[in-house]
Amino acid sequence: MSEVRVRIAPSPSGNLHIGTARTALFNYLFAKKNNGKFILRIEDTDADRTSQEYIDNIFDSLKALGLNWDEGPDVGGPYGPYTQSERFDIYPKYVQKLLDSGFAYECFCTPEELEQEKQEATEAKRAYVYSKKCENLTEEQKAKLRSEGRKPAIRFNIAKAQKAFHDSSILEFDDIVKGKLHMDTNLLGDFVIQKSNGAPTYNFAVVIDDALMKISHVIRGEDHISNTYKQILIFEALGFEVPKFGHLGMILAPDRSKLSKRHGATAVSDFVKQGYLTDALINFVALLGWSPSDGEEIKTVDQIAQDFRIGEISSSNSIFEYDKLKWMNGHYIKQIPIEQLKQMLKPYLTKYDLTELTDEQYTKMVEITREPLTLLSDITDAVPYFFGKDVQIDPEAQEKTLDTDVAQDVLKDFVSKAKDWDWNEENLHEKLADFRAFWKESVGIKPKVTMWAIRAAITGRTCGADMVGILEILGKEKSLYRANKAIK
Ligand code: GLU
């Protein structure tokens, strides 16, 4: 296999998980680095858990992250179809091949019988593996079981394959991320490759698909390592070339448990809804297991691709630090050109009447509020005071500021002076500076206390965006109305 061909094979039983996005990215980078192909295959064999909505979500999320595939269900390719449910007529031939060569056998055990076996193993405190009860059934016995209406599942004969291709029961492979890995295949148990209803199981379909799609490297999460041993034996039993395997460490939550919804968003689309940028997300997931050689963590996918080496991926688990992702997201928000940011923020401003602002005022509002945003959605709570005539006063602003005598005096003076001010940025800047200086010099009030009073009256808050900008956007009438109201 000279051409590098890698794939991701998500099961559409949920929206695209951030962990799958990382696996996709590492496959994508590996393909890019090696002039190879990145393939998307949808593994929808489990019809009960599959939905079109999830398939669409997987497509959309990967595209939004910029992880475009060379071959896949929508774009096609030489080894399609790329959706497993459309490949069901391909698998039986290979099942038959394994039956004919003795690497597989029919199993007539009922779910109850298998449950019984499992219980016995539990009681005897041993790990359960299938008893191989059906391995050597005679044709007569099988015919009898069939006549009882039993439909067989097909099991893979591990020991037989292991003996045919290896010296001992230990199966070893060279993982391109983790180095040499091995396992005693006696612990695997003869697993089902085709269910009694004729449907292929994951471990079987994945091998046929990877082989027929000429996948050269299988890069996926380490939760698949035990499957890899099974899959290697099937590749060998069918005479297929075995691809190289690379297993990535898991992504854990900050408390070191499995990352789940209780920690925060886990699906790419949920992160996006919360106001994360896909550029930040992809940059962040790249750092889960990979470190740039120059130590510079902020990088585009193209920059990462230049530096990326699969052998340098850490084989250990990575911690998903939401705070770091937020920081990174804030960094990316700062880079967005203003016109683009204005558009991107609109979905988070639907509770306000944006027509109250001219385009110029809206631009100004975004300019003076963008700095502290770590999520696009932070804008929602950052701007309520730019809208409506009245403003809601925070309890803190009321108690600590407006309820003080100083605030009353400052605001009365502000109203009487400001009514004569020219209401433009330059002048407001100058007048406010004079106003603060007056209160400091003649009454001894600190400039920040003076400004708190004005800010609390006009925005209802004790902190926020640049005060001159706020006054300018609100205009003289609304600003003085709010100041007067606060005095009352
Ligand atoms: N459908 C499997 C999953 O979503 C794919 C695993 C693999 O890459 O082989 O976990």
CATH classification (class only), 91-248: alpha beta
Interval between CA 178 and ligand 1 midpoint (Å): 18
Residue with tokens 């858990």, as numbered in its chain: 49
Residue having the nearest C-alpha atom to atom 7 of ligand 1: 9
- Respond yes or no: is residue 261 known to be catalytic: yes
pLDDT > 90: percent of the chain: 95
**Residue 1 pLDDT > 60:** no
Ligand 1 touching residue 227 (CB < 6 A) = no
Any ligand 1 atom below 6 A from CB of 220 = yes
DSSP string, 378-417: HHHHH-GGGSSSS-PPPHHIIIIIITSHHHHHHHHHHHHH
Report pLDDT for 48: 81
CATH for 395-485, options being 3.40.1710.10, 1.20.120.80, 1.10.10.350, 1.10.8.50: 1.10.10.350
- Give the largest Cα separation in the chain, rounded: 110
Quick one: average pLDDT of 115-139? 96
Identical topology for domains 91-248 and 395-485:
no
Task: Please choose from 204, 206, 222 the residue to mutate so as to test ligand 1's pocket, defined by most ligand atoms within 8 A of CB.
Answer: 206
Identify the residue whose C-alpha is closest to ligand 1 atom 5.
Answer: 9
Is any atom of ligand 1 closer than 6 Å to the C-beta of 11?
A: yes
CA of 206 to the centre of ligand 1 (A): 8
Task: At 478, list the tokens.
Answer: 């609304």
Question: How much is the pLDDT for 406?
Answer: 94
Q: Give me the chain's average pLDDT, please.
A: 96
265 Cβ contact list (under 8 Å, min separation 6): 18, 271, 273, 274, 276
Tens-place pLDDT, residues 396-431? 999 999 999 999 999 999 999 999 999 999 999 999
- Out of 93, 261, 351, 448, the active site residue is 261
What is the 437 CA–ligand 1 centroid distance (Å)? 67
Q: Which residues contact 473 (CB under 8 A, 6 or more apart)?
A: 357, 361, 364, 365, 386
Map tokens 């300018």 to a residue.
Answer: 472
Tell me, rounded to whole angstroms, the distance of Cα 219 from its chain centroid: 17
| Sequence-ordered alpha helix ranges (H) in 8-130 | 18-33, 52-64, 91-101, 111-123
Position 45 scores a pLDDT of 83
For the chain, give every domain's residue range.
91-248, 395-485
